[in-house]
Structure formats: structure tokens, C-alpha cells
Amino acid sequence: MKSYRLNTLALALCLTAGLGACASQPRPGAAAKPAATAVPAATPSSPATAPAKLEVGITADMQSAEVMVDGKPVTIMRNQNAENTVNPAFAKTSRKCPPFCIQPFELAPGVKTIGELEMIDFLKRLPNDPNLLVIDSRTPDWLERGSIPGAVNIPWDRLNIGKSDPITVQEILTKQLGVVERDGFWDYSNAKTLVLFCNGQWCGQSPTNIKGLLKIGYPPSKLFWYRGGMQEWEILGLSTVKPSR
């Protein structure tokens, strides 16, 4: 596995934000904002225990799926109300572009785009795979409207390579993503497999983070992108959780 010099991150920061921005960054050891906020377990929008037979299944062979959120089981299932309509927060079809432009299906070479069934499979694997992390890249105001059970919130603007506080970026890399600093290099040998998402096909938050990680050497084989994001998840009536109070 390749290793990358730490000053690659500094170079990316300078190239993107300019030398003046690099000079104004906090000194080493300065206090930094918290790197991320986990999405706490909350009462799911669907019952914790699914009925034996559902009118609206996930697939013909899958009625529901149980995932663990903070050590507690949460059932992912589709809304059973045949008259239900999409969450108004995700009903809008048109937003100003730029910045809310349609993203390509293939985000970058080697980065796999996934759908809802693959996402559910990743969520089911979380309790037994410490090297797997599902990341909600949205900002906290969007998080309040609901997230995918099992996801951890790392706001995109905290991990925006080239624009975010470099100390915060470094803390996220080492403390949450499994990247190791070794003899002046970034070592990605034990970096976690990441599944990132944001609001949908028109949202550039998780794509920005994925492209930034690639620039500093994160292995593309360890990056997965749920392109449909929260809009597709909500359109399909799948269970969501909200931060606990």
C-alpha cells in the first residue's frame, strides 16, 4: 500500500485555498473544533419490530432489515401507508445550478457507486466490521430532518480538503478514518472502508469529500458513494432516525 507525505495535505491546502489562507491556519496545538458528531440512536420512523408480513417490502425476498445503532436494534423498513407521500424537505425538483448540479453516476475511477440495497448490506455489516464507516456528509441543520440509521455525521465542510481547518482534517483522518501517521508519511494500509452520502444526485457535499480524499492518497477501492442519498432514501419510504435530544 502506498504511503503519502504529510506535506501532500499542506500542498493541497495551499493550491486550493492560496498561500495566504495556509498562513492564517491555526498553529499546531491550537484548539480545534470537534471533528464530527455521531448520529445518536433515536426512535425510528418505523416500528422497532416489523410485522410478520408487510404489504410493502424492501424486495420480494426482504421484508425489512435490522441494523444496530449505538448498540440498539433499529428496523429498516418501508413506509406501509399506501397514501404516504415524500417528505416535503426532499420534494423539490429544482435548485439553482451551480451549486446544486446533477452529479455523474461514476464519480471517480475506482470509486464504486451504490444503491439502496448495497447501502442496507453495509449497514447490516457495521456491528461486526470495525473497519467500515457509513458517513452522512451533510451539515447539522439537514441532519435534524433525519438520517440513515447507523450513519455517523462528519459534515462535509469539516473534511473539505483545501478549505477546512487542516488540524481538524488531520484529526478526522487519524481518529475516525483509520489513517496512520508513520515517519512523516500518511499510511493508508489500515484505513477504513468509507460509504459516503449526502442529499441526493444534485448534492455536491459527499462528492467534494470523496474527491478531496483521493487527492491526498486515500485508496479509491476503500471509497463507496451512495449517489441517491437522502432524497432517494425518503422517496422509497425507508426508515430514518433523528438526533436524540
Instruction: Please give the pLDDT value at position 78.
Output: 97
Answer yes or no: is pLDDT of 174 > 70: yes
Contact 44, 74 (CB under 8 A): yes
Instruction: Please give the pLDDT value at position 35.
Output: 42
Q: Which of 19-33, 62-76, 94-108, 167-181 has the weakest average pLDDT? A: 19-33
Contact 226, 114 (CB under 8 A): yes
Give residues with Cβ within 8 angstroms of 6, minimum separation 6: 181, 184, 185, 186
Q: What is the mean pLDDT of residues 213-238?
A: 97
Instruction: Please give the pLDDT value at position 53.
Output: 86
Q: What is the pLDDT of residues 26-68, one digit of tens each?
A: 333 444 444 444 444 444 444 445 456 899 999 999 999 999 9
Q: What is the pTM of this model?
A: 0.80
Instruction: Please give the pLDDT value at position 52.
Output: 65
Q: What is the CA radius of gyration of the chain?
A: 19
Give residues with Cβ within 8 angstroms of 238, minimum separation 6: 58, 76, 77, 78, 116, 148
What sign results for the dihedral spanned by CA atoms 209, 100, 16, 104?
Answer: positive
Instruction: Please give the pLDDT value at position 163.
Output: 92
CA gap 198, 213 in Å, rounded: 16
Q: What is the mean pLDDT of residues 218-228?
A: 98
Instruction: Please give the pLDDT value at position 182.
Output: 87
Q: What is the mean pLDDT of residues 116-133?
A: 97
Contact 178, 194 (CB under 8 A): no
Q: How many CB atoms lie within 10 A of CB 122?
A: 22
> How long, in residues, is the chain?
245
- Domains of the chain: residue spans and CATH: 3-12+34-46+56-78+107-235 (3.40.250.10)
For residue 92, report the phi and psi dihedrals to the nearest 5 degrees: -65, 135
Answer yes or no: is pLDDT of 19 > 50: no
CA gap 77, 64 in Å, rounded: 5
Instruction: Please give the pLDDT value at position 45.
Output: 45
The DSSP letter of residue 87 is -
Q: How many CB atoms lie within 10 A of CB 12?
A: 17
Instruction: Please give the pLDDT value at position 183.
Output: 86
- Under the banding of pLDDT at 50, 70 and 90, the label for residue 17 is very low
